[in-house]
Amino acid sequence: MFKTVGIIAKAKVKNIDKIVKELIEYLNKNSVRVVLGCEAAKSLGLKGMDREGLAAHVDMIIVLGGDGTFISAARSVNESKKDIPILGVNLGRMGFLTEVPLSEMYDALDKVFVKNEFFIEERMMLDVEIYNNSDFISRKTVFNDAVLSKGALARIVPINVKVSFGGKEMDVATYHADGLIVSTPSGSTAYNLAAGGPIVYPTMDCIILTPICPHTLSNRPIVLPDNARLTVRVDEDIEDVMATLDGQIGYRVTTKHRIVISKSTRKIKLITQRNKNYFDVLRTKLNWEERKVRSVKC
């Protein structure tokens, strides 16, 4: 099914050269052509392709790293406009997206390349447009979240949010908080979770709005339908307010800016294992313990 596979690796991982070399040998043994990203190639003293260029030349991508590496790879796939799946192998800490541990990598690969026993999940993304007054500045697509927050100094930021569902625009709230997270279901287990937001099943299509440390305790997270179109503004001139996209791209914003967020028309495809489900991942990553009932003799 997959004739050409790209390998994207996190830089500065212990023994990454050995991991990449053995992975190439495995793929070649299964008649798969390999294209290396820059970091993976560098570990072997070779020259590789940048991530967007790599995405344009392969049928599938294997990510060796953590969720940050996976998100960067997903953004490259989106920018390449190709509809290719990604398999994430966790070399980091949490790894909600890179769900396959290194110890199980070859079992997972056998299910893809030998046994044809795998699923492909589609995950929604968000388009984020930034304007300065009426002037368009940028349009990016995020896999996890868009975050509006203050810089180094601890100061409450008033953030106004409006929503429309294809018709008249309505006020949601003006949040007085340390910031605001607008998240996808996939991103619900990232910053959103740390800020007290809900865990949302990752294949759902919805938009999660979570204030960060709100001054008004009744300001709670809200889950909106996927046809919601949000307009977010800062209500006061405060220095060092940043709009951060997927934790990797940042824009400084003022009261002159407006951020428009909506569901993207494109989705990212993840390769998942048939013998695992999302609740297995949650129990493992969040250390959830199953309650054990002990019988007591009377």
- Which tens digits make up the pLDDT trace of 59-95? 999 999 998 899 999 988 988 888 899 999 998 776 7
Report yes or no: 254 and 237 within 8 Å, Cβ to Cβ: yes
For residue 53, give every residue at least 6 positions away whose Cβ sits within 8 Å of its Cβ, in sequence order, or none. none
Residue 241 belongs to what domain range? Answer: 125-265
| Per-residue pLDDT band at 51 (split at 50, 70, 90) | confident
Please report whether residue 290 resides in a domain.
no
Distance in angstroms (rounded) separating the CA atoms of residues 84 and 135: 34
Q: Which CATH number belongs to the domain containing residue 164 in this structure?
A: 2.60.200.30
Bridge pairing between strands 229-234 and 157-164: antiparallel
User: Both 138 and 252 in a single domain?
Assistant: yes
Say what the pLDDT of residue 282 is. Answer: 83
CATH number of the domain residue 83 falls in? 3.40.50.10330
Say how far residue 85 (Cα) sits from the centre of its chain.
14
So what's the pLDDT on residue 296?
A: 58
Q: What is the pLDDT of residue 293?
A: 53
Per-residue DSSP letter, 49 = B
**What integer pLDDT is reported at residue 298 of this predicted model?**
56
Residue 110, by phi and psi: left (phi above 0), alpha (psi -120 to 50) or beta? alpha
Positive or negative, the Cα torsion across 74, 76, 79, 83?
Answer: negative
Does the pLDDT at position 191 exceed 70? yes
* Residues 50 and 38 sit within 8 Å (Cβ to Cβ): yes
Catalytic annotation on 135? no
Residue 84 within any structural domain of the chain: yes
Indicate the pLDDT class of residue 279, thresholds 50, 70 and 90.
Answer: confident
Cα gap 56→43, rounded to integer Å: 22
Q: Is the pLDDT of residue 12 over 90?
A: no
Mean pLDDT across the chain, nearest whole number? 90
Q: pLDDT by residue (tens digit) across 103-140? A: 999 999 999 999 998 999 999 999 999 999 989 999 99
Within this chain, do residues 260 and 157 fall inside the same structural domain, yes or no?
yes
Residue 29 sits in the same domain as residue 73:
yes
The count of other CB atoms within 10 Å of the CB of residue 136 is: 10
Whether residue 183 is found in the same domain as residue 85: no
Does a structural domain hold residue 294?
no
**Does residue 292 lie within any of the structural domains?**
no
The 3-state secondary structure of 207-275 reads EEEEEECCCCCCCCCEEEECCCEEEEEECCCCCCEEEEECCCEEEECCCCEEEEEEEEEEEEEEEEECC
Do 67 and 140 fall within a single domain?
A: no
* One domain, residues 213 and 256: yes
- Please indicate, yes or no, whether residues 188 and 77 belong to a single structural domain of this protein: no
Task: Select which of 67, 145, 178, 246 is catalytic.
Answer: 67
